[in-house]
């Protein structure tokens, strides 16, 4: 691949000789097998020189079957076969015997007629040159091109995993003019762009840095949850710097045979040095960069050799050439400490979930590629997508475009985006699902119970929408709350209000319907998780106070937790959590009992319309109890 950067010839490193010559070796082995086993089966005759005396001896013995006289030479075959089952054709030298034809006509023969047959042609071997071309050169060329083509196809399907690609890195290489992504395509990550912009500037103007004695950071580690744009911003750095871009996944270094992963690392850095300045991007580096086992038992020798080679290469290359290493991971806590020290990955770039302004910026970037109405409220859509990553927002915009086509519209409207958010969160609508009237009534009161507790307690996000339309995720209805702004911190009062809101559905079932159902299973799970977090991590328990009772593992991949306390303490934590949820439940039941008239009126409207907005709900509950019966 051509680049605009030229390096002195003595700095270039040649590719390993075996990367080009191994197809010839394979072809030679196949030719030996071919000629050793197939040729004797296909070639049924061979040519052998003899003297005229031997010929006359065979004639007198009656062994000659066929004779051909050509250019004073005699070609003849006898009835006997060689040990390998092939028939031999003999040829004599020049001779002059006028009575030969007469004697041959009278001589006996083992042929069917009992006389020697005068043949017009006797099959015999080609010339040595012809045999060499047919049996060695032609099959060799065919074998070479066949295997070369097969290996190329295997490489296109994932050549890094091909066990025949000895030492080749398998990295995808993009020339400087092939990477079209720029920082303009990356939104919602302003801090990360500012950090990486300095690397781009160094690649453009290295002189102003080297004059003061500064050196280019060798590497930057991109850390964050999935979908936050780590790969995208790495391509944007290459696009802004206009340099070649090497892209490879950490798992592609993991090989079946020990030493091959390390060989791939060497080949990758060798290619990068040839094309410097350039950028190497290793995605999911935790596949090869996991912390090494200090005990020395149970380790993966291949993975550790690959990691050691990576550490050596990062120490060995000259940063003045402009080779920048970018790596991405969702599990930074699992990486080896030697990989994170200064001089290897000098910078750690956090790629967090975007805030409100970031979501709006990402939304604008993706809406550029679809036709949409001009009056779309980006602020409302961005607030409804709280906690979404850049990939989630791209998926929501695409779902909205697909819905607009299904609805027969030529542009994306506000309702398309709102419905796509609900589709991503709770699944598509299942309007055909049959639900009895009694169950619909319970579901209505359940959802209105959530909304009522949220509205009366305060400190909770305003109700945006209430629906009892079933969804494919299994939800029979839900209450959607949208914060009025971006909230970073939450107080203990707000968290307790949220727990009470989660129990509002079950409280409405018990107070109004006189029963409890399985519809509150997800509410119970969320309330329990929130209450436990308040006790073990947030220090919001009066009994334990500011004491950390659990640790978080894989914060960017779901945040699994493990308790760090004694068994007796763990049992007591359960009691604290149970009491916290019980207090919220009692609070929710009281609110619902005090607002029974508004609950009935809102439930009637929800049963009739199946979906109501937050404004419609607030108009009902703000109506005095003596007038609420007239609200329809």
Contact 476, 519 (CB under 8 A): yes
Strands 219-223 and 323-329: parallel
Q: 10 Å Cβ neighbour count for 543?
A: 11
Q: State the pLDDT at residue 76.
A: 74
Better-scored residue on pLDDT, 616 or 210: 616
Better-scored residue on pLDDT, 261 or 410: 410
Query: Percentage of residues in the chain with pLDDT exceeding 70?
Result: 74
Q: 10 Å Cβ neighbour count for 319?
A: 17
Most confident of 62-66, 142-146, 254-258: 62-66
> Nearest to residue 615, comparing CAs of 600, 607, 605?
605
| pLDDT per position as a tens digit, 252-262 | 877 655 567 78
Sheet holding 87-91, edge to edge: 45-49, 87-91, 73-78, 64-70, 117-118
Give just the sign of the alpha carbon dihedral 325, 331, 336, 342: positive
**Catalytically active residues, by annotation:** 447
| pLDDT per position as a tens digit, 260-270 | 778 888 888 88
Enter the pTM of the model: 0.69
Q: Report the distance separating Cα 358 and Cα 190, nearest Å.
A: 8
Q: State the pLDDT at residue 47.
A: 65
Contact 528, 577 (CB under 8 A): yes
Q: State the pLDDT at residue 625.
A: 65
pLDDT(159) > 50: no
Most confident of 63-67, 204-208, 578-582: 578-582
Residues 6+ apart with CB under 8 A from 451: 463, 466, 479, 504, 602, 617
Q: Report the distance separating Cα 289 and Cα 223, nearest Å.
A: 14
> Nearest to residue 456, comparing CAs of 534, 526, 512, 508?
508
DSSP single-letter state for residue 36: I
- Average pLDDT of 339-362? 88
**Measured CA distances, 363 to 183, 251, 388 (Å):** 15, 32, 11
Q: Report the distance separating Cα 332 and Cα 556, nearest Å.
A: 9
Least confident among 35-44, 450-459, 499-508, 526-535: 35-44
């Amino acid at each position: 691949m051509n680049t605009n950067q030229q390096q002195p010839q003595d700095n270039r490193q040649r590719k390993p000789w075996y990367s080009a010559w191994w197809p010839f070796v394979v072809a030679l082995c196949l030719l030996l097998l071919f000629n050793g086993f197939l040729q004797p089966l296909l070639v049924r005759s061979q040519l052998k020189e003899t003297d005229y005396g031997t010929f006359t001896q065979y004639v007198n013995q009656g062994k000659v079957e066929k004779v051909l006289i050509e250019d004073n030479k005699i070609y003849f075959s006898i009835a006997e076969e060689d040990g390998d089952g092939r028939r031999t054709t003999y040829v004599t030298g020049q001779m002059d015997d006028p009575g030969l034809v007469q004697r041959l006509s009278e001589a006996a023969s083992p042929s069917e007629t009992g006389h020697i047959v005068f043949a017009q042609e006797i099959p015999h071997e080609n010339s040595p040159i012809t045999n060499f071309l047919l049996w060695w050169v032609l099959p060799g060329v065919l074998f070479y091109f066949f295997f070369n083509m097969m290996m190329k196809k295997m490489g296109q399907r994932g050549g890094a995993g091909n066990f025949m690609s000895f030492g080749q890195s398998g990295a995808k290489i993009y020339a400087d003019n092939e990477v079209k992504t720029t920082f303009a395509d990356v939104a919602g990550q302003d801090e990360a762009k500012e950090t990486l912009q300095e690397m781009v500037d160094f690649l453009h103007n290295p002189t102003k840095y080297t004059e003061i004695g500064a050196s280019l950071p060798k590497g930057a580690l991109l850390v964050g949850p999935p979908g936050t744009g780590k790969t995208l911003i790495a391509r944007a750095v290459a696009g802004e710097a206009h340099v070649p871009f090497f892209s490879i996944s950490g798992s592609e270094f993991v090989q079946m045979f020990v030493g091959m992963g390390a060989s791939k690392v060497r080949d990758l850095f060798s290619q990068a040095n040839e094309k410097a300045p350039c950028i190497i991007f290793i995605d999911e580096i935790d596949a090869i960069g996991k912390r090494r086992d200090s005990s020395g038992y149970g380790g993966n020798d291949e993975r550790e050799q690959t990691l050691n080679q990576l550490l050596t290469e990062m120490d060995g290359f000259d940063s003045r050439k402009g080779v920048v290493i970018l790596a991405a991971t969702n599990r930074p806590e699992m990486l080896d400490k030697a990989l994170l020290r200064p001089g290897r990955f000098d910078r750690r770039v956090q790629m967090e979930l975007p805030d409100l302004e970031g979501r709006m910026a990402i939304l604008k970037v993706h809406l550029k590629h679809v036709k949409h109405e001009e009056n779309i409220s980006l602020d409302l859509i961005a607030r409804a997508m709280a906690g979404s990553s850049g990939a989630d927002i791209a998926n929501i915009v695409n779902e909205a475009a697909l819905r607009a086509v299904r609805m027969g519209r030529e542009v994306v409207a506000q309702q398309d985006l709102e419905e796509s958010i609900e589709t991503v969160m709770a699944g598509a609508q299942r309007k055909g699902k049959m639900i009895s009237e009694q169950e619909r009534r319970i579901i209505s009161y359940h959802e209105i119970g959530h909304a009522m507790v949220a509205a009366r307690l305060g400190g909770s996000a305003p109700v945006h929408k209430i629906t009892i339309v079933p969804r494919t995720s299994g939800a029979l209805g839900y209450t959607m709350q949208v914060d009025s702004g971006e909230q970073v911190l939450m107080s203990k009062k707000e968290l307790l209000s949220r727990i009470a809101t989660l129990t509002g559905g079950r409280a409405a079932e018990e107070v109004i319907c006189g029963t409890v159902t399985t519809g509150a299973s997800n509410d119970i799970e969320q309330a329990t998780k929130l209450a436990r977090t308040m006790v073990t991590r947030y220090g919001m328990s009066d009994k334990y106070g500011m004491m950390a009772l659990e640790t978080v593992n894989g914060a960017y991949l779901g945040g699994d937790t493990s308790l760090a306390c004694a068994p007796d303490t763990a049992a007591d934590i359960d009691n604290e959590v149970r009491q916290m949820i019980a207090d919220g439940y009692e609070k929710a039941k009281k609110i619902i009992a005090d607002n029974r008239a508004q609950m009935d009126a809102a439930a009637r409207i929800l049963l009739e319309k199946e979906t109501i907005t937050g404004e419609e709900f607030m108009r009902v509950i703000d109506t005095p109890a003596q007038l609420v019966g007239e609200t329809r």
